[in-house]
C-alpha cells in the first residue's frame, strides 16, 4: 500500500487539501496515517477521490451530497452482487 503526502494527492486528484483531509475524517476513503503524516491508500481510494472531485465539479455540490451519492452507489454495487443468479437472494 503506497504512502502519499497530502500535497501529492492534491496534484493527482485535483481536490483541495481540506477536502482530502475531510474525506479521510469522514471515512469516504479508507486511509491510514503512516510516519510523517503520509496517508496509506489503495488504488481504489485514489479512484474514489477522483470520483469525489468529478461529482463536486460536475454537479456543483458539496461533500455532504457527494458522500450520500457514493453511499448509494456502493449499495447498488452490493445489491447487484446479491442477485438471484448469484445465489445471494
CATH class of 3-83: mainly alpha
Residue 78 CA, distance from chain mean position: 16
pTM: 0.85
- How high is the pLDDT of residue 36? 78
- How high is the pLDDT of residue 19? 97
Query: Domain coordinates of the chain in residue numbers?
Result: 3-83
Phi, psi of 60, rounded to the nearest 5 degrees? 50, 55
- How high is the pLDDT of residue 82? 77
Phi, psi of 32, rounded to the nearest 5 degrees? -120, 150
Query: Could you read off the pLDDT of 30-66 as tens digits, one per residue?
Result: 998 887 779 999 999 999 999 999 999 999 999 999 9
Q: Per-residue confidence at 83, pLDDT binned at 50, 70, 90? A: low
Dist CA 53 CA 6 (whole Å): 15
> Average pLDDT, stretch 59-75?
97
Amino acid at each position: 500500500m503506497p504512502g502519499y503526502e497530502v500535497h501529492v494527492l492534491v496534484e493527482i486528484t485535483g481536490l483541495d487539501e481540506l477536502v482530502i483531509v475531510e474525506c479521510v475524517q469522514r471515512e469516504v476513503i479508507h486511509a491510514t496515517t503512516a510516519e510523517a503524516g503520509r496517508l496509506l491508500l489503495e488504488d481504489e481510494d485514489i479512484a474514489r477521490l477522483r470520483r469525489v472531485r468529478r461529482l463536486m465539479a460536475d454537479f456543483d455540490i458539496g461533500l455532504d451530497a457527494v458522500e450520500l451519492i457514493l453511499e448509494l452507489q456502493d449499495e447498488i454495487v452490493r445489491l447487484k452482487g446479491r442477485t438471484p443468479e448469484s445465489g445471494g437472494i
